[in-house]
């Protein structure tokens, strides 16, 4: 079979196959309608996307305060009132050596002892002193409104008419001090002790 005969035979086979397929009415118009609907859906989706981008951009512009993310300066809030008893002022008033004048539940503060019962508060947050018989020491902190905490270190306990400085410091939760007088108060506001400046 020659090349020409083979081509004619294939053409005849395709013609028979095409003749056996039932005709589809309006095939061209249906294809065109489908393409138009797909195009409409694309337009709608594109329009929705553009609207969403516009909304997001507007929100970002509003939150960012305009171009470049800069914000509109707001008026500064008023500074909080500073208590007259700032830590520095209280520390300065407390620094120095004090002798007891009055202690809640303690009598005989004027009794003779081997040492003078005193407390000395240092600017580094430590205190030292004597209970009249033993050297004592510890640490303390002062808050903005005179809040106070005191701790005592290890100490020897030679018995005499000991002045309970450490008990006062551990019970105190607030102090009030001026140039001549130092007062300690318990958590319930009760006055625990009064000291006078020794030097």
Residues 96 and 178 in one domain: yes
Q: Please report, for the domain that includes residue 153, its CATH number.
A: 2.40.128.270
Q: What does R_g of the chain's alpha carbons equal in angstroms? A: 47
Q: Do residue 192 and residue 101 come from a single domain?
A: yes
Number of domains making up the chain: 2
The reported pLDDT for the residue numbered 161 is: 77
For residue 74, what pLDDT is reported?
A: 56
**pLDDT score of 183:** 96
As a whole number of angstroms, the distance between CA 137 and CA 120 comes to: 9
CA distance 76 to 70: 17
Residue with tokens 């000291």: 195
Whether residues 55 and 110 share a domain: the answer is no
Could you tell me if 137 and 165 lie in one domain?
yes
Would residue 3 count as lying in a domain?
no
Residue 82 domain-assigned (yes or no): no
Provide the residue range defining the domain that includes 156: 87-197
Q: Are 157 and 168 in contact (CB under 8 A)?
A: no
Are 105 and 171 contained in the same domain?
yes
Same domain, 50 and 124: no
- Does the pTM of the predicted model rise above 0.85? no
Q: Tens-digit pLDDT profile for the chain (199 aa)?
A: 666 777 777 677 667 765 665 555 555 555 455 556 655 555 544 554 445 445 444 544 444 444 444 455 555 544 444 344 444 466 678 999 999 999 988 887 878 888 889 999 998 999 999 999 899 999 999 988 889 999 998 766 667 778 999 999 999 999 999 889 999 999 999 999 999 999 7
Does residue 49 form part of some domain? yes
Residue 97 shares a structural domain with residue 63: no
Q: Could you tell me if 57 and 96 lie in one domain?
A: no
Q: Give domain status of residue 8, yes or no.
A: no
Q: Are 31 and 101 in the same domain?
A: no
pLDDT of residue 162: 86
In terms of domains, do 177 and 112 share one? yes
Ramachandran quadrant class, 94 (left: phi over 0; alpha: psi -120 to 50; beta: rest): alpha
Per-residue model confidence (pLDDT) at position 130 = 93
The CA distance from 153 to 136, in Å, is 7
pLDDT at 173: 96
Which pLDDT belongs to residue 55?
Answer: 46
């Amino acid at each position: 079979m020659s090349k020409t005969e083979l081509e004619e035979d294939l053409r005849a086979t395709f013609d028979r196959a095409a003749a056996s397929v039932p005709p589809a009415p309006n095939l061209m118009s249906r294809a065109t309608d489908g393409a138009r609907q797909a195009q409409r859906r694309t337009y709608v989706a594109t329009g929705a996307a553009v609207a969403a981008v516009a909304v997001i951009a507007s929100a970002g512009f509003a939150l960012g305060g305009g171009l470049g993310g800069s914000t509109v300066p707001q008026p500064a809030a008023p500074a909080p009132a500073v208590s007259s008893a700032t830590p520095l002022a209280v520390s300065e008033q407390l620094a120095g050596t004090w002798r007891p004048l009055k202690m809640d539940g303690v009598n005989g503060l004027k009794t003779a002892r081997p040492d003078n019962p005193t407390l000395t508060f240092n600017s580094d947050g430590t205190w030292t002193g004597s209970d009249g018989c033993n050297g004592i020491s510890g640490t303390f902190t002062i808050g903005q409104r005179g809040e106070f905490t005191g701790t005592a270190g290890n100490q020897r306990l030679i018995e005499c008419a000991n002045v309970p400085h450490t008990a006062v410091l551990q019970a105190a939760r607030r102090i009030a001090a001026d140039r001549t007088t130092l007062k300690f108060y318990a958590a319930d506001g009760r006055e625990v002790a009064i000291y006078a400046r020794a030097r």
